[in-house]
């Protein structure tokens, strides 16, 4: 089946630059990405709740009705926002091994979520199909090019890392990461996790060092260790 025989939502056709049948009314004034950029500015400043069709239209000097010529529903706006917020993935040295490439990809992904924490609140109804979202997927999958993983293995491994990054970002999105916050948590934990009630936590407190940045890379290493075991099995 030819790709153009498959129906594609209009918002995706615009993002991919596919030709559209002429619509009644004036010619488009903005590119769809400019609408996404305006919505991202609103979300960065006030959270996802600050984004509405009327506010995005006002940001661009549109009327709300004219905005509907580009995005037909708020879900379409979210698609454009996500594509704009992530942008192109940062270049990764493909001469490195799969593990180093995927680590760099995960860190870049984490950094994007830190810049735009509202992304974690956007409802996801289907896998990504916008151009820059697929650029990110391609970059992660390409890290496995030198392995014996199957196509399904690669996709599952990429999704595992994606879920880990999103999960840690979700957990730390509202934490106070200023200097001393992690030490304060440790002190409070020691006060509450008494040996009689939480013997395992209490026993580990003596050697526990809480550092949210290090925790991210330590946890990522555990995830990558699992993928490495899969690669070793496929190499047999």
What is the reported pLDDT for 26?
A: 55
Backbone Cα Rg of the chain: 22
What is the reported pLDDT for 30?
A: 74
Using CA atoms, how far apart are residues 25 and 33, in angstroms rounded to an integer? 20
* Cα atoms found within 13 Å of the Cα of residue 35, Cβ hemisphere only: 29
Place of tokens 């037909």: 72
Q: Using an 8 Å Cβ cutoff, are 223 and 161 in contact?
A: yes
Residues contacting residue 44 through CB under 8 Å, at least 6 positions apart: 115, 116, 118
pTM, to two decimals: 0.84
Positive or negative, the CA dihedral 34, 39, 43, 45 is: positive
Angle formed at CA 109 by CA 165 and CA 17, multiple of 5 degrees: 130
Instruction: Write out residues in the chain with pLDDT < 70, as ranges.
Output: 1-5, 19-29, 175-182, 208-214
Q: Using an 8 Å Cβ cutoff, are 144 and 101 in contact?
A: no
What are the pLDDT digits (tens) for 8-50?
899 999 999 885 544 555 555 678 999 999 999 999 999 999 9
In order of their start, the domains of the chain are: 3-85 (1.10.10.60), 89-177+209-235 (1.10.357.10)
Using CA atoms, how far apart are residues 72 and 68, in angstroms rounded to an integer? 5
What is the reported pLDDT for 21?
A: 47
* Cα atoms found within 13 Å of the Cα of residue 79, Cβ hemisphere only: 24
């Amino acid at each position: 089946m030819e790709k153009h025989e498959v129906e594609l939502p209009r918002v995706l056709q615009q993002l991919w630059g596919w030709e559209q049948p002429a619509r009644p009314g004036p010619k488009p004034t903005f590119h769809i990405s400019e609408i996404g950029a305006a919505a991202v500015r609103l979300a960065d400043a006030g959270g996802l709740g600050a984004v509405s069709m009327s506010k995005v239209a006002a940001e661009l000097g549109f009327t709300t009705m004219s905005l509907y010529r580009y995005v037909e529903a708020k879900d379409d706006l979210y698609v454009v926002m996500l594509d704009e917020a992530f942008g192109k993935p940062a270049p990764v040295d493909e001469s490195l091994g799969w593990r180093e490439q995927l680590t760099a990809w995960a860190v870049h992904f984490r950094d994007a979520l830190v810049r735009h924490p509202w992304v974690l609140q956007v409802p996801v109804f289907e896998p990504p199909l916008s151009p820059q979202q697929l650029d990110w997927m391609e970059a992660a999958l390409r890290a496995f090019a030198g392995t014996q993983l199957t196509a399904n293995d690669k996709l599952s491994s990429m999704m595992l890392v994606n879920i880990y990054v999103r999960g840690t970002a979700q957990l730390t999105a509202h934490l106070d990461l200023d200097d001393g916050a992690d030490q304060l948590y440790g002190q409070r934990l020691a006060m509450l996790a008494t040996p009689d009630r939480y013997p395992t936590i209490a026993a580990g407190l003596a050697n526990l060092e809480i550092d949210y940045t290090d925790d991210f890379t330590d946890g990522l290493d555990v995830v990558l260790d699992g993928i490495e075991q899969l690669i070793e099995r496929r190499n047999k």
